[in-house]
Structure formats: C-alpha cells, structure tokens
Amino acid sequence: MNDSLNQTKQQIAELRRLLEDYNYQYYVQDNPSVPDAEYDRVMRELIALEQAHPEFQSPDSPSQKVGGQALSVFEQVEHRVPMLSLDNVFSDDELKAFEQRIFDRLKNNQALEFSCEPKLDGLAISILYRNGKLVQAATRGDGRVGENVTDNIKTIRSIPLKLRGDNFPAELEVRGEVFMPKAGFEKLNQQQKENGGKVFANPRNAAAGSLRQLDSKITAARPLAFYAYSVGYFEPEDNIASSHFARMMQLKDWGLPVCPVIKKVTGCQQLAEYYQWIGEQRNSLAYEIDGVVYKVDSIELQQTLGFVARAPRWATAHKFPAQEEITQLLDVEFQVGRTGAITPVARLQPVSVGGVTVSNATLHNADEIERLQIKIGDTVIIRRAGDVIPQIVSVVEEKRDDAELTDIVFPTECPVCGSHVERIENEAVTRCSGGLICGAQLKESIKHFASRKALDVDGLGNKLVEAFVDLEMIKTPADLFKLTAEQIAQMERMGQKSAENLVNALEKAKQTTLAKFLYSLGIREVGEATANNLALHFKTLDAVQTANFEQLIEVNDVGQVVAEHIVSFFAEAHNQTVIEDLLAAGINWPQIEVVSADEQPLKDKIFVLTGTLSTMGRNDAKAYLQGLGAKVTGSVSAKTDYLVAGESAGSKLTKAQDLGIEILTEDDLTALLTEHGVL
C-alpha cells in the first residue's frame, strides 16, 4: 500500500474510534462528550472517506448504522442457548411464595442476594459477538428459533458493533430488550400522522414494528434503544463474572448499555422496596416499563435452581397492576374549549384501571375516530398512563354486535352555541366559529383570564364563572369588573363576606403587568413566555396591537403561526372592544423601561438549561432569559456562563461542575428573573 492510502486507512480507523467513543460516552456512560453536530460532522467525514475507498469498507464501521439493502424475508436463527421466558407475580404474597419456593429447593432459608431491574416494555433479542464484533442478532421468537434481524439491530445507535477492551469471551451472546423511549414514540407517531403512515398504539408495538422491517433504512430512522439484561452463550469461560449483577457491569465495561437503575438487594423485603421505588419513578422514566424483574444474583445458585417449562425458577417479573382494561363505549359527547376546539369525549362504562375508576376517555379529534373505526356501543380497550387523560387504544372487533352500534357523528354546529364549525385543511382540530358568543368559549376564556398566571383573581372558582355565564351576568371578561358585592352574594354558596372578598380581589387584579395582560387575553398559541417576550420587545400595548406580521416574527420565539394568530386577534373588532372595556374598567400596569439592546442585563451571557424545572417549562425559562439578552444553548462547554440545573439533572450538571461553571438552582433562576422584572 502506498503512503497516501495508508494514511487514509489510518484516518478512517481514527474516525471510527472517535465515533465508537462518542457512542459509548453517550449511550453507556450517559454522558455525551460532544454536541450532536460534532458527531454528525465526524460521521459525514467517515462516510465520505469510505465511499471514496470502498476497499476499506467494514461491516463493523459505525457508518453502518444507517441501514443497508432490503431483505425479502427474515431468515430463521436457532438460539445457541434457548431464550427463556419469565414467570410473573402480581402481589406481595405471590412474591413471598416465589422466595419460599427457592428456599425449599435450596433447602436453606438464608436471605438471598437478588439483582433487580425494571421490566422494559419492548421486545427481547439476542446479539452474538464473535471476537468482539457484532456478527448476528435475532428476535426471541418462540425462545428456540427467532428471526435474523442483524441488519436492523446494527442500525440502533446504542448497540456497539464492536466491543470495548480485550477481556471479553471470543463468543458472547448478549440478551436484552429493544424498546422505544416515550419521547421518540410521541415524535414518531406525530410524523406518521403527518405523512399519513401507521400510527402505533404504544411504544412496544412501535418498537416491534420498527424492528421487523425488511428494509433496515426504515429501522435506522426509528428512535430505538437497547438495554442488555443477560448473557446467553459464551466461550471460553475464563473471564466471565459469577454473579448476574457483576456480569451486567462487565457488559457495561465492554460497551453495552445496561439499565442505570439496576440494583443489588438482599431478601424479600428489599425486593418489595425496590418495586415500590421503581413504581414511584415510573412516570418520570424515559421509557415504558410494566413491572420489575428479580434475578437470583449468584449464577451458581441459578444453575442449581434450573428452570421449569422454559421459565427459570431463579427469576420472576413483578408486574404493575394492569394499565389497560376492557370496557364499553356508552356515548360520545363534544366539549368546546377556550379556543373553540371541539374535542370528542368518550363516556365509558366505569371500570377500574390499575386502581383508578375510569369513566371518560379522550378521543382527541375526528381523525382519531376515523383511525379507531369506533362506534357507540363498541367494546374497547382503554389505557391509563400516569396522570394523563385515559385513551382508547382499540376496538375489540370480536365483541362487535352490529345491531347494537351507532355511528359517531361529528357535529356540524357547535353543540353549545349553534354556530357553524370549521376545520381548516390539514389541521386535525374542528372549531366552533362563535368566539365569545359561544358560552363554552366564554366560560373557558374567563377562567383563563382570571387564572393564576394571568390576572390572578383570588376566589373566582370555575363553578362560579360557569354560573355567571349561564345567568348571563357576564358576556365578556370586562363584565367581571361590573359585578357588585350584592349581585355576587346572591349566588349559590356565596355569603356577603366572600362576595366582598371577590370584589376586592377583582380590584387588586386590575394592577398587573403588560405581559400578564397579554397572556390573559387568551390569544391562540400565546403562552406565558411568548406574552412576556412580546411585552419586553414592544414595551406598550399599543405597539403590540399595531405590530404587523414582519415585526412580530422579529420577537424571540414568535414564529409564523403565532404571528398570524396575534395579527388576526387584534384585527377582530370584538376583541378591540373587550380590550377598551378592560382598560376603561381600570386595568393598568407599570410602564416598561426602554432598554437598548446593549443595556440588556444578561447580554451575551451563555446559559444551558438541564433537568426538570417545577415552576416553568424549559421553553419558558429559555424565552425569559433570551428576553433579557442571554443566549441559551444545548450543550455545556468552556464558554458556558451558567448552567441552570433542575430536578434530576444528569451528565450536563457533572460536566459543568468539572468545568467549574456557575450552577444555578431553579430558585436562583427565579430570583434572577424576578430581579429583572420578568416574573
């Protein structure tokens, strides 16, 4: 080989090593070492070199993660060691019985060590590494024979194509779960909806559907992830640890991702504690789980215990109570929201789902009804996940009795005010065109107007607002300020005292800020942060009202859609009248000081936000900071001035600490924003 070729070869090797390192830092250590843009740059460089020099192509190059030729069928693969299944327990009693069976078999009652991990809701696969190189991957199938999905598995970024270090067995079969993190699942379904593709019912189906693609380029585009959970066949035996937990740590050293909340415990009581602990974190985990798995930690004891009917005696899954149930769709009602959006709501035969009685579920919009092909009277599967409104997953076709079904008819008139409804092309939402003439929109607008982040009227509850509107005592938000204590005292469950308190609260609410006033108007897509940016940018109500589209999109965080909503809101004569009435009622705010761009208090300071903030969204925080002149970036570097660390901040926090960057807590941030008059 000539010198220049040799150099290219070395360059390719170096780029591959870099990318392998980045992947390891990112997926296994959970500590990204470079921004995504840098990763992409190196990847592009590698791909360009490999294309120019096909002689240096290699099946284990990180560039192979983009997918290859499509297959016509999946080949069958026999597993070297069968992939066992898992038994389940559903209660503490069943858990005790599991431990007792182990004691009986071992003829020993000594508390045992267990390794515990979440039970991911994905699909099991087996990956074979030969001399550290990924040579084959197969689905579990029936446990004995699975499907060869090597090309697809190779596209998953967290799965290394080459192991790290040198003390791994020459033949090593790694078992684990392929899954789709919640965020990726939401995003994928959004894309599928937009492109008219299949919408997946849950992350598990999405993961399975994505892995079983004959064209690995499709799999490559799907946000799949992997955690290893056991070792299958290996040879030679010298270097492998003798406990499950220690083996998982070895896999991690060799570059394979292992679930970070894996834990070693002793005895049945601690198993129950682990179950409780994971249950508490369930909603905040980035992926769906349906329980936890306990495994006797000693491999020697595992071998003594053996298995029955394909399930090991030394392991069990402790499942969370079912989150899905079957029930019947009794009726569909249509609710009208603040912006006129009409949402179909399913009324269900009440059923207990994981301990909570569910009698309503959202059907989102007309597309969802179409997708589900659902009719009133259908038997349906519903799912409750965390605190979100229950959803209908699917119709149980087998239980359909056509004679008992009624079609769901989307209304052509608003069910509340009778105005015509409109659906803009390519938008999923159907809206009532009635504006504040519509009682439902009026009620929701007034609730919003008086809410804590808007004018913050103390003592004006939802029921009271609804009653005022129903009795036609209020026709616009401005009418609130005309109410007298005598009128209010007439209302149900209102005494003279609380009526007076409400009048006082309304009086107090008149003193506000321009940002809160703009937010309180309920302009579509104008949240707290946008309202704040508008106020900081334009300084006066008049300037906001007269701003045109081009001027609006100059504002931080205001895109074309928001700008259009703002323009059309102020163009509406009716809205102008409401604003005039509100100002006439005495609503006022302090003048915003005009600060030139170079006097912005955080001018050119670079902030990074990480973790969860409890009092505001990360986007809000970003907009507030930008409003003060700061730059907000995604990754920590030596140039970063401040890192704002919310709840469960991870690798960015560690990195900032390492670099000696000033760390702000959420309280520090709130204090900073308050100091500059933003909050």
Active-site residue 133, yes or no? no
Please report how close the Cβ of residue 25 comes to ligand D41 at its closest, in angstroms: 24
Please report how close the Cβ of residue 291 comes to ligand D41 at its closest, in angstroms: 9
Q: Is 124 in the site for ligand D41 (CB under 6 A)?
A: yes
Q: Among residue numbers 279 through 318, which ones bind ligand D41 (CB under 6 A)?
A: 293, 295, 312, 315
In the complex with ligand D41, which residue's Cβ is closer, 318 or 676? Answer: 318
Please report how close the Cβ of residue 24 comes to ligand D41 at its closest, in angstroms: 21
Q: Among residue numbers 213 through 252, which ones bind ligand D41 (CB under 6 A)?
A: 229-230
In the complex with ligand D41, which residue's Cβ is closer, 74 or 179? Answer: 179
Please report how close the Cβ of residue 134 comes to ligand D41 at its closest, in angstroms: 20
What is the β-pairing status of strands 342-353 and 356-362? antiparallel
Q: Which amino acid does the sequence have at 446?
A: I
- Sign of the alpha-carbon torsion through 390, 395, 401, 407: positive
- Judged by CB under 6 A, the stretch of 81-89, 500-508, 567-575, 654-662 that binds ligand D41 is 81-89
Q: Is 202 in the site for ligand D41 (CB under 6 A)?
A: no
CA atoms within 13 A on the CB side of 624: 22
Give the H/E segment covering residue 470.
Answer: helix 462-470
Distance CA 654, CA 662 (A): 12
Both structure tokens of 322 = 């079912």
The footprint of ligand D41 on this chain (CB under 6 A) covers a number of residues equal to: 15
In the complex with ligand D41, which residue's Cβ is closer, 230 or 533? Answer: 230
- Judged by CB under 6 A, the stretch of 84-92, 274-282, 523-531, 539-547 that binds ligand D41 is 84-92
Distance CA 243, CA 467 (A): 66
Cα–Cα nearest to 545, from 520, 517, 582, 571: 571
- Sign of the alpha-carbon torsion through 293, 294, 300, 302: negative
- Judged by CB under 6 A, the stretch of 83-91, 324-332, 424-432, 529-537 that binds ligand D41 is 83-91
Q: Among residue numbers 128 through 167, which ones bind ligand D41 (CB under 6 A)?
A: 140
From 119, 154, 319, 447, active-site residue: 119
Sheet harboring 133-139: ordered strands across?
133-139, 123-130, 171-179, 225-235
The correct pick among 50, 99, 117, 528 for binding ligand D41 (CB under 6 A) is: 117
- Judged by CB under 6 A, the stretch of 78-86, 97-105, 498-506, 666-674 that binds ligand D41 is 78-86
Q: Is 335 in the site for ligand D41 (CB under 6 A)?
A: no
The correct pick among 84, 180, 616, 669 for binding ligand D41 (CB under 6 A) is: 84
Cα–Cα nearest to 326, from 265, 378, 387, 267: 378
- Judged by CB under 6 A, the stretch of 80-88, 271-279, 539-547, 628-636 that binds ligand D41 is 80-88
Distance CA 215, CA 299 (A): 39
46 backbone dihedrals φ, ψ, rounded to 5°: -65, -45
Tokens 């008059």 -> residue: 677
Cα–Cα nearest to 108, from 310, 252, 305, 392: 305
Q: Is 86 in the site for ligand D41 (CB under 6 A)?
A: yes
Distance CA 293, CA 176 (A): 13
In the complex with ligand D41, which residue's Cβ is closer, 84 or 503? Answer: 84
C-alpha 218: how far from its chain's center?
Answer: 22
- Judged by CB under 6 A, the stretch of 55-63, 112-120, 337-345, 425-433 that binds ligand D41 is 112-120
327 backbone dihedrals φ, ψ, rounded to 5°: -155, -170
Q: Is 394 in the site for ligand D41 (CB under 6 A)?
A: no
Please report how close the Cβ of residue 139 comes to ligand D41 at its closest, in angstroms: 10
DSSP code, position 107 = T
In the complex with ligand D41, which residue's Cβ is closer, 39 or 185? Answer: 185
In the complex with ligand D41, which residue's Cβ is closer, 180 or 293? Answer: 293
End-to-end CA distance of the chain: 67
In the complex, the residues that contact ligand D41 under the rule CB under 6 A are 84-86, 117, 119-120, 124, 140, 177, 229-230, 293, 295, 312, 315
**Active-site residue numbers?**
119
